[in-house]
Amino acid sequence: MIIEPIISGVVARSAHPEGCKKAVDNQIEYVKSASPIKNGPKRVLILGASSGFGLAARIALTFGGAEADTIGVSFERGPSEKGIGSAGWYNNIYFKQRAQQAGRRAVNIVGDAFSQEVREQVIEAIETYFEGEVDLVIYSLATGVRPKPDGEFWRSAIKPIGESVSGATINLETQSWQDTTLEPASESEIEGTLKVMGGEDWESWIDTLVNSDSIADGFKTIAFSYIGPEVTHPIYLDGTLGRAKVDLHQTSHALNLELANFNGNAYATVCKALVTKASVFIPGLTPYLLALYKTMKQQGNHEECIEQMQRLFSTKLYGQDKIPLDGERLIRMDDWELQPSVQHKVGELLNDMNKDNFKDVGDFDGFQQTFLNLNGFAFDDVDYGKETDIESLKRLKP
């Protein structure tokens, strides 16, 4: 069959396996030529390893100087009668092929990271492949639901708190600007978002690993956060997601104390706003992303996930006498995003941007290209006219 991009709203319903392979290869190529990670970890567990920051971290740690072996957990769909499967499914497969070709161990566990079953599979994999200990755990899950113990679900709701917020969302399917007003979240929506995207599950994972004696001396763990400039605060930092991220920051401090017994550390790492499967879902954020991409590309300091992760591990988390932290013990990878020269220009663009001119004022082409690339589309050197054999894809195992 010929695979075409299918987009509903801001969700990709198809993925191109050859293009996913290309996306993985491009990231590998980048980290091989970048400033290397020195004194990096050798045995790494990544929760949320199949796309966005988690995949980029996995590639950086395997190919960008540390030569780490990795266990990656993700929730992805393979090919079936219903469709070709998700991009993350193929990212897992092609990452593993490349890692093995380079002599590295790469284990993929596909299942629900909130479940007990996946925790047991991970502990078994640490026993089998990592001699029972892990040096670094990266918590990079982005999801809208978390199962409750009673079989029900907590659901996140991306909403403001206290008062309604007006903004615009760009629909990628129709390439149109949609003005929206978001009503404030209810108490149970605030609570649901905290349960799904806050620090509780991260803490529970680390407790599980402590209890199974799987933590190496000098162990580290990080989870990703976002703060952003003031213009995004009504929908992000002051809203339900921000509440969850503040909880994550507090969890990092509690974990840091707990890990002292292992000479270990925990850090919340604040990243730059980027186009990922998860971020395009945040209502009201897209105009900011369009302005940010345009500005940072013009100023020559734009980064995607892979550049962010290589810089994190090579200049902040490893190889330094002291990890650079801000006054709240956060690692700041949003340092370039928040530079006054960047934010000043972004503010100007946002003031000018409207439903008629957003494609010119903002970097709409770049935004769309990145979104398509995440799903294996829009690479110049992939032959999209070539037939894809689904039966042979079904034989590929993560």
Rounded CA-CA distance 139/134 in Å is 14
User: Given the complex with ligand NAI, which of 95 and 379 has the nearer CB atom?
Assistant: 95
Q: Is 50 annotated as ligand-binding? A: yes
Is residue 276 within the footprint of ligand NAI (CB under 6 A)? yes
Q: Which stretch binds ligand NAI (CB under 6 A): 150-158, 218-226, 258-266, 380-388?
A: 218-226
Q: How far is the CB of 217 from ligand NAI (least distance, A)?
A: 27
Is residue 279 within the footprint of ligand NAI (CB under 6 A)? yes
Candidates 58, 51, 56; CA nearest to 105 is: 58
Is residue 185 within the footprint of ligand NAI (CB under 6 A)? no
Rounded CA-CA distance 167/37 in Å is 40
User: Given the complex with ligand NAI, which of 226 and 377 has the nearer CB atom?
Assistant: 226
Q: Is 53 annotated as ligand-binding? A: yes
User: Given the complex with ligand NAI, which of 73 and 182 has the nearer CB atom?
Assistant: 73
Is residue 50 within the footprint of ligand NAI (CB under 6 A)? yes
Q: How far is the CB of 310 from ligand NAI (least distance, A)?
A: 15
Cβ neighbors of 122 (< 8 A, separation 6 or more) are: 45, 71, 73, 109
Span 287-346, contacts to ligand NAI by CB under 6 A:
none
Query: How many Å separate Cα 296 from the centre of its chain?
Result: 20
Is residue 271 within the footprint of ligand NAI (CB under 6 A)? yes
Q: Which stretch binds ligand NAI (CB under 6 A): 99-107, 134-142, 212-220, 343-351?
A: 134-142
Q: How far is the CB of 291 from ligand NAI (least distance, A)?
A: 14
Q: Strand, coil or helix: what is 182?
A: strand
Is 30 catalytic? The answer is no
User: Given the complex with ligand NAI, which of 36 and 242 has the nearer CB atom?
Assistant: 242
Q: Is 52 annotated as ligand-binding? A: yes
Is residue 93 within the footprint of ligand NAI (CB under 6 A)? no
C-beta atoms surrounding 212 within 10 Å = 16
Is residue 143 within the footprint of ligand NAI (CB under 6 A)? yes
Q: Is 371 annotated as ligand-binding? A: no
Which residues make beta-bridge pairs with 7? 12
Alpha carbon of 390 to those of 18, 82, 111, 318, 364: distances in Å?
A: 12, 12, 22, 42, 33
Q: Is 132 exposed, middle or buried (0-12, 13-18, 19+ CB in 10 A)?
A: middle
Candidates 207, 219, 66, 222; CA nearest to 135 is: 219
Rounded CA-CA distance 322/92 in Å is 33
Q: Are 281 and 343 in contact (CB under 8 A)?
A: no
Is residue 58 within the footprint of ligand NAI (CB under 6 A)? no
Using CB positions, name the residue nearest to ligand NAI.
52
Q: Are 73 and 49 in contact (CB under 8 A)?
A: yes
Cβ neighbors of 212 (< 8 A, separation 6 or more) are: 123, 126
The site that binds ligand NAI (CB under 6 A) totals a number of residues, namely 29
Rounded CA-CA distance 32/5 in Å is 30
Rounded CA-CA distance 107/71 in Å is 5
Is residue 48 within the footprint of ligand NAI (CB under 6 A)? yes
Is residue 219 within the footprint of ligand NAI (CB under 6 A)? no
Q: How far is the CB of 154 from ligand NAI (least distance, A)?
A: 12
Is residue 157 within the footprint of ligand NAI (CB under 6 A)? no
E strand or H helix that includes residue 159: none
Span 72-91, contacts to ligand NAI by CB under 6 A:
73-76, 88
Q: Is 245 annotated as ligand-binding? A: yes
Task: List the catalytic residue out of 30, 90, 139, 236.
Answer: 236
Active-site positions read 236
Residues in binding site for substrate = 226
By the criterion CB under 6 A, which residues form the site for ligand NAI? 48-54, 73-76, 88, 112-114, 140-143, 224-226, 271, 273-274, 276-279
